[in-house]
A = this chain, B = another copy of it.
Amino acid sequence: MNRQIIEKLTGIVGRDYLLTDRQQVSAYLYDQVEIPLRPKASEGCVVVKPASTEEVSAIVSLASQENIPVVVRGGGTGLCGAATPVYDSIIISMERMNHILEIDEKNMMAVMEAGVTLADLLEELEGHEGIGFPVHPGDEGAQMGGMVSTNAGGARAVRHGIMRNHIKGIKVVLADGSVLSLGGKLLKDNAGYNLMHLIIGSEGTLAIVTEVTLRIYPEEKYTASIVASFDTIEEASSAVLDVVKSGVSPLAVEYQDKKLNLETAELLGLHWPVKEGSADLIIILSEKTETALYDNCRAIDQICDRHHAREAMFAGTKQEEADVLAIRSGSYDVIKDDIYHSFDMAVPPSSMPEFLGELWRLVDSYDTRTNITAHIADGNVHNDILLVDGKVPDYHRELQEKMYQLCFSYHGTITGEHGIGKLRVGDLPLQKSPREMELMEQIKKVFDPKCILNPGTVLRSQREE
């Protein structure tokens, strides 16, 4: 990046908040995508750390005039390479915009700068008794701006839905540097086209989110976890469909292969409570009263029984519950180094028994295996293609394509929650019609005619340089 631009950027954010040193910049180039799959970051990037929407606006105005790509960096917890700059870019790190502006208990809304992490928000809410925020995409280092831009999901979508359901307002900087406030502390607003909902999930390609207004909620006091094991993944997922239909509304319903649970437990030195069967469910309940908690536990136990569960254990103490969740969330680290590509397909929930069964058989036909972890009540599956002797297997493209075709045969999507990013930018046209792709490209042009906002993400839009 040339001297003049560096000087102008320094003029906006100050010398202390600009990084040009390659070593320092290198910490801002990648997200959590598996290493063999990462898009290669461009090497001529600089990092700026603005302190306000006005500074973001000034940076983007400059970038627009100079036709320089801009990539926003949030918590870096993404799983599709959206945060990796593939052109020489100005990387805008939101780390200093980390102020919680208001916890408004009357409207039950929180107003935050985009760099506030989920951990920050949850910590702040601990000081407001009985109030919580439900969406939980696994890594609490995720920042609010990123959670909006990726429409984050996670395990608790069963009951509370995804980020989109809870976002009431955003402040954004457009590609020309202008600032828009969209939505607000309103529960109903039908004035004109909803640009906020278009920007949610657009992965930093239509606008830069600098402020977020979220709904917060009264928290249920009584929680419990049930761990149930089944002989087959089909039985486990059939039980889940019945749980949802029964009106019991769990906080989360997670599936994981027993093999993976046992391996993780061993590695962490913890105890996994169910030994029989091969397919495990973790069902987390959260209720307002002890009676409701007890009633729902009993209802779930009966449903598991009907679906031939081998065991169904109640994680009664806080410690037992914490162990179960530690094993669930620690499992990825156990297998991470063996993974070439971790997927994020989603199908209609009722198709899960068949889809998962066919997925097993498909992978089996390649004489390999796939680890299956699923937000099973949402129909959202994280399975993988494994490295073979540490190397990317020859068949990886072919197997991926067959997985996608299987997913499409159930009217599924290639990404339920992680997003397109740069990882799936070539795959999106497999799922979408040419006409829909064309509309997306035209919308991108409306918002970002020079294609400076996170180019190469979501769409292949070419930059003119």
Contacts and interface: CB of A to CB of B under 8 A. Distances in A.
B440 A443 contact: no
A456 to B, nearest CB: 14
Interface in A326-350: 346-350
A420 interface: yes
B245 A415 contact: no
Given A186-B348, A188-B416, A108 B443 contact: no
B245 A106 contact: yes
A193 B289 contact: no
B440 A187 contact: no
Contacts of A301: none
B186 A416 contact: yes
A106 B189 contact: no
Given A161-B165, A245-B106, A349-B107, A188 B375 contact: yes
Nearest to A429: B192
Contacts of A459: 192
A195 B436 contact: yes
B350 A106 contact: yes
A105 B244 CA distance: 10
Given A195-B440, A198-B194, A201-B193, A162 B188 contact: yes
Contacts of A419: 190
A185 interface: yes
A418 interface: yes
Interface stretch (A150-158, A271-279, A384-392): A150-158
A35 B307 CA distance: 59
Contacts of A109: 348
Interface residues of A, number: 87
Copies in the complex: 2
A202 to B, nearest CB: 6
A27 interface: no
A397 interface: no
Contacts of A413: 184, 186, 188-191
21 contacts: A106-B241, A107-B349, A108-B245, A109-B348, A130-B247, A165-B165, A174-B435, A184-B411, A185-B349, A185-B411, A188-B378, A191-B413, A191-B432, A192-B459, A193-B202, A194-B197, A195-B440, A289-B291, A291-B291, A439-B447, A443-B446
Interface of A: 104-109, 130, 150-151, 153, 157, 161-162, 164-165, 174, 178, 180, 182, 184-195, 197-198, 200-202, 206, 218-220, 241, 244-247, 288-289, 291-292, 295, 346-350, 375, 377-380, 411-420, 424, 428, 431-433, 435-437, 439-440, 442-444, 446-447, 458-459
